[in-house]
Amino acid sequence: MSFPDVRPRRLRRTAAMRRLVEETRVAPAELVLPLFLKEGLTEPRAISSLPGVVQHSRESLRKAAHQAVSAGVGGLMLFGVPDHAAKDETGSGGIDPDGILNVGLRDLISEVGDSTVVMGDLCLDEFTSHGHCGVLAADGTVDNDATLELYGQMAVAQAEAGAHVVGPSGMMDGQIGVVRRALDNAGHQDTTVLAYAAKYAGAFYGPFREAVESTLQGDRRTYQQSPGNVREALREVELDVAEGADIVMVKPALPYLDVIAAVRDRVDVPVAAYQVSGEYAMVEAAAANGWLDRQGVMLETLTSIRRAGAQIILTYWATEAAQLLRDRY
């Protein structure tokens, strides 16, 4: 036999052969679209650091939800952006049934029903005047246990608005247990909890802060994790599963593929990953300069996140990627 004896290129010769042996595929149903609803808007408003993403009006939110469902997207994650005047020290707008997030959840459910999975971001940062994910103690630190009480109320309000899933994202200790108990006590045993279990305090959330008009002073390093830690992420994930998380999420996604893989190995619940605003904005900016093939990089990043072990991916590209993927397979 002539050298080389083994020829891996045989499996790459034609598109049909490559398709036959492809190990990882992303299905539209695995993608979740994050959506922003801004109080008082009559027209959608562009977000300059997130080209192609908007702050929705109630009407445009319904349209975007409808398009996403038509494309086969698996879920919608809603963020509420209240009027600045509606923000206060305790983030009460997040709990108010007439607060913008709960209003939007009701709109989404009336638009899409059970045809996709409607999720609410469960965190106070959009609703607090200081922009932190929880309430502040007298010394200015984020008060873990006082915050938990409010998360429980917020979860019930979202379930009552019809959310299929609540997504506690504040990284408070005990948040999953408190949310689960509050839901159960209010008769919402069937509301699913998606835990932002390993969420890193990094610099990739910049454009999101513009999207939600965040007023954050300082940073979130006393509650979100340090980028170098992976064992700590596993501990967070195990605690969340023990407290009742139905799905666990790692965030951001692409810079933390090793964390996604480690989490996937450790637990048996579904693993999600959030491709955050900074990941999206980097690609959009490079593509706008003609430096990257936008769709190529989009699909490659999603494939990489899927390959690392996330079976659910939150991405601002969800609708477009779902359309592309549907045509592809």
Q: Are 35 and 78 in contact (CB under 8 A)?
A: yes
Positions 274 through 313 that interact with ligand PBG (CB under 6 A): 276-277
Q: 63 an active-site residue?
A: no
Cβ-contact 72, 326 below 8 angstroms? yes
Among 169, 225, 301, 319, binds ligand PBG (CB under 6 A): 169
- Report CA 249 to chain centroid distance, whole Å: 8
Region for residue 292 given its phi and psi (left: phi exceeds 0; alpha: psi -120 to 50; beta: otherwise): beta
10 Å CB burial of residue 323 (0-12, 13-18, 19+) is middle
Residue of 107, 151, 155, 158 whose CA lies nearest to 125: 151
Cβ proximity to ligand PBG: between 52 and 113 the closer is: 52
Number of residues engaging ligand PBG in binding (CB under 6 A): 9
Answer yes or no: is 294 a known binding residue. Answer: no
Q: Which of 30, 121, 243, 320 binds ligand PBG (CB under 6 A)?
A: 121
28 vs 25, 83, 98, 109, 261, CA distance in Å?
Answer: 10, 33, 32, 20, 21
What are the tokens at 274? 């959030």
Interaction of residue 220 with ligand PBG, rule CB under 6 A: yes
243 is in an annotated binding site: no
Q: Does 123 bind ligand PBG (CB under 6 A)?
A: yes
User: What does each C-alpha distance from 241 to 59, 205, 234 come to in angstroms?
Assistant: 37, 25, 11
Q: Site residues for ligand PBG, window 63-102 (CB under 6 A)?
A: none
Q: Single out the residue of 151, 200, 205, 223 in contact with ligand PBG (rule: CB under 6 A).
A: 205
To ligand PBG, the closest distance from the beta carbon of 267 in angstroms equals 21
Looking at the Cβ atoms of 50 and 71, the one nearer to ligand PBG is 50
| Segment interacting with ligand PBG (CB under 6 A) among 14-22, 117-125, 155-163, 186-194 | 117-125
Question: Catalytic residue among 38, 63, 87, 251, which?
Answer: 251
Binding site annotation covers 316? yes
Query: Of 38-46, 88-96, 121-129, 228-236, which part binds ligand PBG (CB under 6 A)?
Result: 121-129
Residue of minimal Cβ distance to ligand PBG = 208
Is residue 200 involved in binding ligand PBG (CB under 6 A)? Answer: no
At a CB cut-off of 8 Å and minimum separation 6, what does 306 contact?
24, 25, 26, 30, 313
Active-site annotation, residues: 199, 251
- Binding residue numbers for 5-aminolevulinate: 209, 220, 277, 316
Chain residues in the site for ligand PBG (CB under 6 A): 121, 123, 125, 169, 205, 208, 220, 276-277
- Binding residue numbers: 209, 220, 236, 277, 316
- Binding residue numbers for Mg(2+): 236
